[in-house]
């Protein structure tokens, strides 16, 4: 039994095909099974076993806040109020894990619905990597919406999205990762998932997301992240570790003196994110300078006046000078416009 659980933990640590919400739910399913079947002589021994397994699962995917939050929440619900009888403790721990799986699925569905509503005026959508939340949002978009995405090297998780879209007969275009910059010029919006959202609004996601967000900013294309709120990091959590995977995944030869790195995640600053859409609604972080699509039946997140000022100037082709003044813990940003000059944003 211990070997089985160890093998499942190793599979979760090595998983490259599922999104972080799915991986968090796999962790909870493992905890539910362990609660029901792990060897223990009494309730106290079971609690110790489950706490140890939970810590191992959290450490296995340090970039994924959903794993940390959901597993920690499970610990709070079922182990901090221990039951004296072994059978009762098993049942309570398993029930709590399976309830959280359903809560996570409901949150994903809610975030997907709101993302689809926010993007309903979009006709060409670009996405990147594979996110179960983004996939659900795409399924809810009108049939005429064209989806563009890339392979997602090194392990090509974009192929999983391609398979899902082909089954649903969705019109889509698959390209190499290197073509995404050019493809962005044809997109009405970008929608990506999230492995973590930091307290300042920064987005931890598949490496390459930062380049896409920066290019979207250059072309004035709205850039959205979509995820369940369990992926929002809180101030008491440590900074996530950006996971490094085997350099062998790149398939490159070994050359003397050449270091090969395979960092799976990068961090996109909030200034490049139009909004982060969760089941609770769109969230705009103060630093954003990105445009926002306005769906007719969804209240668009309010943008500060200086952002509206800058973007109206950009649309007119004027240049903008932004002065950033920090005052204590707050930052005030003012914009002035000089007419009849080339845009210099």
pLDDT at 295: 52
Rg of the chain (C-alpha set): 22
**Active site (annotated) includes residue 139:** no
User: Span 328-341, mean pLDDT?
Assistant: 32
Rounded distance, CA 104 to CA 112, Å?
12
Q: What is the pLDDT of residues 22-48, one digit of tens each?
A: 999 999 999 999 999 888 899 888 888
Cβ pair 70, 28 in contact under 8 A: yes
Question: Residue 290: which pLDDT band, with cuts at 50, 70 and 90?
Answer: low
DSSP assignment of 50-88 equals: HHHHHHHHHHH-TT-HHHHHHHHHHHHHHTSS--SSHHH
Structure confidence at residue 294 as a pLDDT band (50, 70, 90): low
Domain ranges of the chain: 2-108, 109-301, 304-345
Compute the average pLDDT of residues 212-236: 94
Per-residue pLDDT tens for 90-121? 999 999 999 999 999 999 999 999 999 999 89
The residue among 83, 101, 139 whose CA lies nearest residue 22 is 101
Task: Examine the pLDDT at 206 and tell me if it is beyond 50.
Answer: yes
What is the pLDDT averaged over residues 308-333? 38
Q: How far is CA 338 from the centre of its chain?
A: 38
Q: What is the pLDDT of residues 113-165, one digit of tens each?
A: 999 999 989 999 999 999 999 999 999 999 999 999 999 999 899 999 999 99
Task: Pick the catalytic residue from 42, 76, 139, 195.
Answer: 195
CATH topology of domain 109-301: Rossmann fold (3.40.50)
DSSP H stretches of helix in 184-223: 209-219
What pTM was estimated for this model as a whole? 0.79
Is pLDDT at 306 greater than 50 in this prediction?
no
**What is the predicted pLDDT for the residue at 274?**
94
pLDDT digits (tens, 9 = 90+) for 226-266: 999 999 999 998 888 888 888 999 999 999 999 999 998 99
Domain over 2-108 is classified CATH 3.30.1510.10: no
């Amino acid at each position: 039994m211990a070997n089985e659980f160890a093998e499942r933990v190793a599979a979760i640590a090595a998983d490259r095909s599922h999104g972080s919400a799915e991986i968090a739910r796999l962790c909870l399913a493992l905890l539910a099974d362990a609660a029901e079947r792990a060897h223990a002589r009494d309730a106290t021994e079971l609690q110790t076993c489950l706490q140890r397994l939970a810590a191992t699962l959290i450490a296995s995917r340090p970039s994924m806040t959903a794993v940390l939050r959901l597993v920690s929440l499970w610990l709070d619900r079922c182990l901090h109020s221990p039951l004296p009888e072994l059978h009762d403790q098993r049942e309570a721990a398993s029930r709590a894990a399976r309830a959280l799986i359903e809560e996570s699925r409901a949150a994903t569905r809610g975030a997907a619905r709101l993302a689809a509503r926010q993007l309903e005026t979009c006709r060409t959508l670009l996405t990147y990597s594979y996110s179960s939340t983004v996939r659900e949002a795409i399924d809810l978009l009108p049939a005429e919406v064209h989806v563009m995405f890339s392979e997602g090297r090194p392990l090509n998780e974009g192929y999983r999205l391609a398979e899902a879209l082909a089954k649903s007969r969705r019109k889509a275009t698959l390209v190499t990762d290197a073509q995404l910059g050019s493809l962005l010029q044809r997109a009405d919006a970008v929608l990506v998932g999230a492995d973590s959202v930091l307290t300042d609004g920064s987005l931890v996601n598949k490496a390459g997301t930062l380049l896409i967000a920066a290019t979207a900013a250059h072309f004035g294309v709205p850039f959205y992240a979509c995820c369940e709120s369990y992926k929002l990091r809180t101030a008491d959590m440590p900074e996530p570790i950006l996971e490094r995977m085997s350099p062998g995944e790149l398939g490159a030869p070994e050359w003397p003196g050449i270091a090969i790195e395979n960092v799976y995640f990068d961090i996109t600053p909030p200034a490049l994110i139009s909004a982060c859409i969760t089941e609770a609604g769109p969230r705009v972080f103060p630093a954003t300078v990105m445009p926002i699509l306005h769906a007719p039946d969804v209240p668009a997140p309010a943008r500060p006046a200086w952002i509206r000022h800058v973007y109206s100037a950009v649309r007119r082709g004027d240049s903008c000078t932004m002065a950033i003044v920090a005052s204590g813990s707050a930052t005030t940003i003012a914009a002035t416009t000089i007419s009849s000059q080339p845009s210099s944003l």
